[in-house]
Amino acid sequence: MPSPEIFKFASADEISTALDHFIAQASHDAIARSGRFTVTLSGGSLPKVLAAKLKSNTTVEWSKWHVFFADERCVPHDHDDSNYLLAKQQLLDSVPIPANQVHPINPALVNDRHAAAKDYVQQLKSVFGEELPSFDVNLLGIGPDGHCCSLFPGHPLLDVKDTWVASLDDSPKPPPSRITLTYPVINNADTNVFVVTGEGKADVFHQIIDLKEPLPSGRVQAKRRLIWFVDNGAAGKLKASTLK
Ligand code: 6PG
């Protein structure tokens, strides 16, 4: 398992620049290797920080991208809580990724979370076949409680091993009904990238990195690289020796 690599920046704006370079390179490398770039997006603050610079990057071969969602809320695509809507507004509307290579939750199934999760497995199979999906990059955020995707502390979904996509109707972060990738898929990625900004994340980041508390985000692994892009606020309580 790769050791976590932590990159600290003065501001969210600097993270946007670093992410632009990192994702452009990851996309270039993946396309050279396999002819495509497979990536997942999360909700929350991530899409804005990601898109700030990347959306104007003309070196990226957007036509080779396949975009999935690490987790999604069971709401229509035009709902304010939709991670798809957020990603669309921040990034997808500005870049030429073919529509059939963007994979949102099936809008016809948002009132049946089990069916929506099953359908999302089929969407994964349409790109990855029957093999366990291995994303080039998952882009993840963390909550102040240490959750990532919709995997919350103490929740039974943390132990799911027999499905690629699970659903819940008791998310402590609203809205309650969601679908989420499970650890078997998340941890089978080539690279997992966490993007963490603001003082509100300083305690949890210290708990995960310095104290190695087994919070959901701390259980994320990767085949090759496990990367944290953090700003000074989020890294405010990190032990000085950790960054050496
Ligand atoms: C969601 C997200 C979730 C998010 C974290 C961090 O749909 O709720 O995917 O896992 O990434 O809660 O959110 P913030 O960046 O807004 O703190």
What is the arrangement of strands in the sheet containing 165-168, beginning at the earlier edge strand? 71-73, 178-181, 165-168
Going by the DSSP 8-state scheme, the letter that residue 18 receives in this structure is H
With 0-12 CB in 10 A as exposed, 13-18 as middle and 19+ as buried, what is 130?
Answer: exposed
Centre of ligand 1 from the C-alpha of residue 47, in Å: 10
Nearest to 41 by CA among 71, 76, 64: 71
Centre of ligand 1 from the C-alpha of residue 32, in Å: 31
| ipTM score of complex | 0.97
Could you tell me the pTM of the whole model? 0.98
Provide mean pLDDT across the span 67-76.
98
Centre of ligand 1 from the C-alpha of residue 35, in Å: 30
Indicate whether residue 141 lines ligand 1 (CB < 6 A): yes
Centre of ligand 1 from the C-alpha of residue 96, in Å: 25
d(C-alpha 176, C-alpha 213), whole Å = 25
With a cut of 80, say whether residue 6 has pLDDT above it: yes
Q: How far is CA 30 from CA 50, 152, 182, in A?
A: 18, 31, 23
Ligand 1 nearest atom to the CA of residue 178, by list position: 7
The answer to whether 24 touches 54, Cβ cutoff 8 Å, is: yes
> 59: left (phi > 0), else alpha (psi -120 to 50), else beta?
alpha
Provide mean pLDDT across the span 53-73.
98
Indicate whether residue 231 lines ligand 1 (CB < 6 A): no
Strand-pairing partners, residue 102, are 67
Residues 6 or more apart whose Cβ sits within 8 Å of residue 100: none
| Residue-averaged pLDDT of the chain | 97
- Two tokens at 135? 């994303």
Centre of ligand 1 from the C-alpha of residue 33, in Å: 31
Indicate whether residue 148 lines ligand 1 (CB < 6 A): yes
- Report domain extents, the chain: 4-138+149-198
Indicate whether residue 142 lines ligand 1 (CB < 6 A): yes
In which element (H, E) is residue 53 found? helix 46-54
Question: Could you write out the DSSP letters of every residue in 102-134?
Answer: B----GGGTT-HHHHHHHHHHHHHHHHTTSPP-
Indicate whether residue 42 lines ligand 1 (CB < 6 A): yes
With a cut of 80, say whether residue 244 has pLDDT above it: no
In CATH terms, 4-138+149-198 corresponds, of 3.40.50.2000, 3.40.1440.10, 3.40.50.1360, 3.40.50.970, to 3.40.50.1360
The answer to whether 21 touches 57, Cβ cutoff 8 Å, is: no
What is the residue whose two structure tokens read 């996309």?
A: 27
Q: For 182-224, how does the pLDDT look when each residue is reduced to its tens digit (9 = 90+)? A: 999 999 999 999 999 999 999 999 999 999 999 999 999 999 9
Q: For 16-25, how does the pLDDT look when each residue is reduced to its tens digit (9 = 90+)? A: 999 999 999 9
φ/ψ of residue 99, rounded to 5: -55, -35
d(C-alpha 74, C-alpha 206), whole Å = 32
Q: For a substitution probing ligand 1, which of 148, 192, 201 has the most ligand atoms within 8 Å of its CB?
A: 148
The answer to whether 134 touches 189, Cβ cutoff 8 Å, is: yes
Indicate whether residue 136 lines ligand 1 (CB < 6 A): no
Q: For a substitution probing ligand 1, which of 140, 147, 186 has the most ligand atoms within 8 Å of its CB?
A: 147
- Two tokens at 140? 């993840």
With a cut of 80, say whether residue 138 has pLDDT above it: yes
User: Whose C-alpha lies nearest to ligand 1, atom 10?
Assistant: 149
What is the share, in percent, of the chain residues with pLDDT greater than 70?
Answer: 100
